[in-house]
Amino acid sequence: MTDNLTDTEIKLKVKDLKIELFNSIEDVYKFIEENAYHLELNWDLTDLFVKFRNHTKSDDEKQKAQWEIECFMFDFKGARVFSFSYSTGKNIGEVKKYPELDEFQKEAFEYLKHRISNTKNDLLSARYNHLLWKGLSGIKNRVYAIKSINSYINSIKQFYGLYTRDKNKENPYQIGRQYETLVGLCNEVNAGIDEVKGLTKFLLFEAKSLEFYSKHGIIDDMLGQPKLFKQRDFTDTLLIFEQELKREKSKSDDFMWVNYHLPTAIKVAQKCKLDVKKWHNEMGFAYLRMAEKETEDDRLWLKQNDYAKAIQSFALSGNGEKKKETEQLYFELKPKVKLDNVRIDFDEETVKKLKEFQDYINNVAENLLKTEPFEIYSAIANGFFFPKYSDVFPASQNNKNAFLDFVTTIQFDKNKNISQPAKEEDNNEKLYTTYSYQINNSVLPFLHYIFIPGIKSGHLTFENFLSFLVEKSWIGQPHRTIDLGGEENEVNWVQILTPAIVEYFVQVQSWVSSKYYLPSFVLCIDSLTLKIEGLLRNFSERANISTSVGRAKGIQEAYIHNVLENETIKKYFNEDDLLFFNYLFANEGGLNLRNNVAHCFYNYNEYSSDKMLLLIAALLRIAKYNYKISTGGTEPNS
């Protein structure tokens, strides 16, 4: 079949290939065998099987293509395996375990064994064998891990060969990803150590075309595997840093040096029991070069910060002369620094108390993490560590700048539209400003200390989170409705919420497991934000509270702010939770998450983990209520 394809067609993305030229799945195998590395560089391996699965008429070939698709939906981060697909159960309330290879059928594992015996491509062999090593009991065998290690080594060498030929920057990235996985697997099974060390030596000292940033990543991975790489394995690695520092061009990227490369060099020097002062000295000079490049008046505060970091570095290096010179530069710059925003300098006592408070938050979170997951979720659901309305409202009314009430205030929204808030909206803004301050300084650090370490350790998982919703809240109870045709339908909100929850847990686990992985919270924030609106509407429906609102075009379903403004629904939620919900979703003064998500006002960088943490907290606080209690308030389920 591949003989019918021109060189130009092979270089095209998979979406441009003529799938009709593949007469059978054997044609696909042959094409992938010959072009796997090229397809991987274009992130196209899975797409080809998707395209063929949708094209072929054979059920057997469709199944084989589907197994290949599922195979490539697993990714490896060191010794961990992650899945980037999910499924929910057919039965109402059922939460299937994910991502686990249990869902990869036994027939699929037998298929992988067959593929291993027929492929000569190390890129494919590494993945197939790695999945078998991570497979079910009775399938898992150390032999597969060893074969996978050997294939990863050959695959990395192949990517390097491609890089020397075409200089495609994707090749070093693939080398880094596969090396990180390789050393994690090698450390896990305690096999292939000599071979991996041989590869490491080749990449660091013999692979002349490999750029410094790639070698730095390899050294960083070595430091992350202290059982695998001993002190002697780092011999001469500091020469790599020294040689790079001699290149004038490399000094143009001083930001990378001070934040990544030199800290690694210091760790290597410490491991090898060598003098670290020279590296702190290099750090000082790098900060000075960064300071010299800051010439704009509105960036002098950055210049001042660079001088401060340089002073610290020269102090650690013992370079008293440069330290003194930089201190003089710092002193002369101080009068010139101007900030557009108001700056409040805390005295030492205040700084000490703030640090003690952060330590206190950390200790509280650590102690809570020692309890069972359901207890942790229950604590958050009940508003533990969240500010109370009775404290926030008086604080927001304590306006020390009352003279501003006589000034016409013009505000800009995030899209640079000008608005003049009404008096009521101004009061809301004061309330939410005070509330936001407490959220940012206590609640978010607390949630971060709970969820990030909790997910990293495996104590908190999407499985026990979803199980909490199923077993401990109204959300896990099916809701029956009657459609226009008189048919009964069941709605299971756990199934609807699962994608966002799973996505967040997987993104965080990938994030904390690999320095090569940059998490994206776009999908989970978009999904959960909009689902919570529906969830609150469904709560109202279950409680027999109207969700219909009259609009210009007729009667329509209520939006989230309509639901929260309903006087009856306010009797169900306590004032602390209502304050939190309005802060997250209100139109004026709060984060306005629903509006900003629905109208695509957020840019990529605004999709932060913090927003998802607040959404998860909101979900838990909604989950605790019992909609069956009709009036006069309600008690939590948990």
Which contiguous run of DSSP H or E holds residue 585? helix 575-585
Strands (E), 511-606: 548-551, 554-557
- Mean local confidence (pLDDT), 463-484: 84
Distance in angstroms (rounded) separating the CA atoms of residues 229 and 240: 17
Contact 78, 181 (CB under 8 A): yes
Give the number of other CB atoms < 10 A from CB of residue 465: 26
Say whether 245 sits in a helix, a strand or coil. Answer: helix
Q: CA 444, CA 441: separation in Å to the nearest integer?
A: 7
pLDDT of residue 99: 38
CA 325/CA 585 separation, integer angstroms: 52
Averaged pLDDT of the chain: 82
Residues 224/252, Cβ–Cβ less than 8 Å: no
Encoded amino acid at 219, one letter: I
Of 574 and 315, the one with more pLDDT: 315
Q: What is the average pLDDT across 26-48?
A: 85
561, 570 Cβ separation under 8 angstroms? no
Q: Which two tokens stand for residue 33?
A: 């065998």
Q: Return the minimum-mean-pLDDT range out of 17-31, 389-403, 589-603.
A: 389-403
Cross-strand pairs, 418? 412
- The model's confidence at residue 210, banded by pLDDT at 50, 70 and 90, is very high
Under DSSP, is residue 80 helix (H, G, I), strand (E, B) or coil? strand
Alpha-carbon span 381 to 623, nearest angstrom: 7
Q: Contact, 51 vs 17, CB < 8 A?
A: yes
68 has a pLDDT exceeding 70 = yes
Tens-place pLDDT, residues 261-278: 999 999 999 999 999 999
With contact defined as beta carbons under 8 Å apart, do 534 and 598 qualify? no
Nearest-CA neighbor of 79 among 221, 186, 191? 186
Cβ atoms of 422 and 468 within 8 Å: the answer is no
Q: Residue 9: its pLDDT value, please?
A: 43
Residue 425 CA to residue 413 CA, distance in Å, equals 14
> Which residues on neighbouring strands pair with residue 481, listed in sequence order?
489
pLDDT at 553: 60
Q: What pLDDT score was predicted for residue 4?
A: 47
Kindly state the tokens that stand for 252.
Answer: 């143009």
Q: Which residues of 354-378 are buried (b: 16+ CB within 10 A; e: fewer)?
A: eeeeeeebeebbeebbeeebeebbb
Residue 214 confidence (pLDDT) above 90: yes
**Cβ-contact 625, 572 below 8 angstroms:** yes
> Tokens 């020390």, residue?
400
Decide if pLDDT at 341 tops 60: no
Please give the pLDDT value at position 16. Answer: 74
Q: How far apart are CA 614 and CA 601, in angstroms?
A: 19
pLDDT at 278: 96
How does DSSP assign 159-190, residue by residue? HHHHHHHH--THHHHHHHHHHHHHHHHHHHHT
3-state helix, strand, coil in the chain (%, to 5): 65, 5, 30
pLDDT of residue 39: 82
